[in-house]
Amino acid sequence: MPTYEYQCDRCHRTFEIWQRITAEPLTRCEACDGPLRRLLSPAPFILKGDGWYVTDYPSESRKKAMESEKGAGKESTSGEKSSTTTSKESPTPSPSGAAAPSTPASSD
């Protein structure tokens, strides 16, 4: 059954009540007999299933697994950086090698 939220126009009391969808909305406040308005409110957010934690925190074993995954990610990232550095060093000697043949050609 859905939960509906009402507010009294006279005493400004706000309350929730379970009602069937087919039930007529309430019209009078029980406390002061003033007119009621049904409020629109968002649906509750409920996490269901095995992947969600009630406390929003993973277990100790999951924390350790996440740490090891982070460590593996850092190793692959540092390996990519070193290969990039090596490839940057290779093009540098090539221009100096090209400069060496031009010197003997000017001597002749």
The pLDDT-based confidence of 81 (bands split at 50, 70, 90) is low
pLDDT reported for residue 26? 92
What's the average model confidence in pLDDT over 53-59?
Answer: 64
Between CA 99 and CA 71 the distance in angstroms is: 45
Q: Give the three-class secondary structure for 38.
A: strand
Between CA 15 and CA 31 the distance in angstroms is: 11
The pLDDT-based confidence of 87 (bands split at 50, 70, 90) is very low
pLDDT reported for residue 6? 93
pTM over 0.75: no
Q: Helical H runs in the chain?
A: 60-89, 93-107
